[in-house]
Amino acid sequence: MYEQYIPSREGLLEQVYDCLEHNISLETIHIPHSDVFFVREALEARYKQEFTLEQAEEYMLDAGWTDGNNTRKNQEQDEGTWAEWSEQAKEDSLT
């Protein structure tokens, strides 16, 4: 009847629920931008290895990604960043 509970990979969902349960501000935990989740999935599919949210976010930040102001100018600047993230992930997977 009840499905078995499967914890989230980094425990982020559990941290959110814990904050809600104990009336703690969500500002006490780092919740990555949704882009980070999508980039991590793409990196994992491409390189057939797991990446943490922190690793994906670090690659994105190193490539010039910023969280916020999703303007057309930012979108145009971001077009080339996938290649940079991809190359960085490739280099890191070899080391």
Token pair of 71, please? 């303007």
Domain ranges (residues) in the chain: 1-31, 32-94
- What would the pLDDT profile of 40-66 be if each residue is shown by its tens digit? 999 999 999 999 999 999 989 988 888
Q: Sign of dihedral through CA atoms 41, 46, 48, 52?
A: negative
How many other CB atoms sit within 10 Å of the CB of residue 43?
24
- The yes-or-no verdict on residue 5 having pLDDT over 50 is yes
pLDDT top residue among 70 and 37 = 37
pTM passes above 0.85: no
Query: What is the four-CA torsion angle of 40, 81, 74, 62, rounded to 10 degrees?
Result: 70
